[in-house]
A and B are shown apart, each in its own frame.
Chain A
């Protein structure tokens, strides 16, 4: 049983397109995150949701819009994709404040 699952695993698309990445967790956690990992493996927080409410919105272009239909799901929609959006995007969930994050296996986005 996969605890945090993301789809798709790979996403190749052209500049200007709109795409979505889906994330689901079956751990019963209240908090979910999106992180971006660049080519140098650096993980940077993008968004955080707690029980469907946006908690953290780092300096991310407004082309990125997270949506949480319920506390088990956090999706990421990206409009007008740019070359610089190419990266691996990780979803994570957390049981409680100051407890470890549990990560999915990532979505590798390539914009051509």
Chain B
């Protein structure tokens, strides 16, 4: 069964303290891995798509990387406005239709 596991569930950082979020996946064949950010009371907001191992994407303080078993979302020198829940999702080769399978998310809190 296709599965996505995110760790840690919650992460507290001081402003400027860099860290990484992990997303490990078990799928029959990965077609794409997606990172989203979700703020309270809002829908998930798209950040990155990664399609193959070794691929990296960057946006401001965020950098996403992908291996054959997992993806990392690196946060460099975070600010309080980076506080949110970060969701990882995969699209698998054997999936009917094109739906994404989501992990349970990592809730990040950055304090000043």
Residues of A within 8 A of B (CB): 4, 31, 33, 40-45, 48, 50, 55-56, 90, 92, 94, 97-106
Contact = CB atoms under 8 A, between A and B. Distances in A.
B49 A41 contact: no
Given A41-B104, A98-B91, A100-B49, A56 B97 contact: yes
A33 B98 CA distance: 10
B42 A100 contact: no
Contacts of A99: 49
B104 A101 contact: no
Of the four ranges (under 10, 10 to 19, 20 to 34, 35 or more), the interface on chain B belongs to 20 to 34
Interface of B: 31-32, 34, 38, 41-46, 49, 51, 85, 87, 89, 91, 96-102, 104-105, 107
A100 B97 contact: no
A43 B99 contact: no
A94 B87 CA distance: 17
User: What 3 A-B pairs are tightest by C-beta distance, nearest first?
Assistant: A103-B43, A56-B97, A55-B97
Contact of A105 (B31, B42, B49): B42
11 contacts: A41-B107, A43-B89, A48-B98, A56-B97, A94-B98, A99-B49, A100-B46, A101-B44, A102-B46, A103-B44, A103-B45
